[in-house]
Amino acid sequence: MKIFSIIGWSGSGKTTLITRVIKHYKARHKKVIAVKHAPHKYYLEPEATDTFKFLAAGADETCLVAKNEMLSMKHITEKTDPIALLESQYPDCDILLLEGLQNENTPAIEVFDSNKNETLKFPMASLCAVVSDKPTATDGPIPNFNINDIDAIIHFMEAYNE
């Protein structure tokens, strides 16, 4: 399984990059899991709904099933490594894409829009690549890809740590 954290400033193009990567892998019949990190407490449903009440009552996991979709929620403790949990939950996944969720063991690609921000959000030492609207100064051998060069980005991701 390949795992990448896609990180950067709000509005930088993280979601756009992830959707392009998903489309690439799905066209090749690969299993893709995409995870959106919400750094603060987040309720997918209002407190009056049944799924909220199930979790509040102590259910370890609750699911919301609608036509052609299923949403699963589970409680995790602060000691739980969410990335390790995802790896164990989806062992047959080909690629796991984490938007905004990272740790020191997961390669991180920063998406950067020079029209919105002056500097990268994260230090170069924590990145394996930068994806940007124009070349970004990098210290050392960190690859820099144009946001529209999805083939080069995919090639980098597939070759990374092989």
pLDDT of residue 39: 61
Q: What angle do CA 35, 12, 149 make, to 5 degrees?
A: 85
Domains and CATH numbers, the chain: 2-41+78-159 (3.40.50.300)
Rg of the chain on CA atoms, in Å: 17
Q: Does residue 94 have a pLDDT over 90? A: yes
- Average pLDDT in the 16-26 region? 96
- Average pLDDT in the 80-108 region? 88
pLDDT of residue 46: 59
Pairing of strands 95-99, 69-74: unpaired
In percent, how much of the chain has pLDDT > 70? Answer: 91
Q: What share of the chain is helix, strand, coil (3-state, %, to 5)?
A: 25, 25, 50
- Separation CA 27–CA 10 (nearest Å): 28
Is residue 41 classed as helix, strand or coil in its secondary structure? Answer: coil
- Separation CA 147–CA 134 (nearest Å): 8
Phi-psi region of 47 (alpha: psi -120 to 50; beta: other; left: phi over 0): alpha
- Average pLDDT in the 113-131 region? 90
Confidence of residue 43 (pLDDT cuts 50, 70, 90): low
Amino acid at 56: A
pLDDT of residue 152: 96
pTM here is 0.84
Q: State the first-to-last Cα distance of the chain, in angstroms, to the nearest integer.
A: 11
- Average pLDDT in the 39-66 region? 74
pLDDT of residue 140: 65
In percent, how much of the chain has pLDDT > 90? Answer: 48
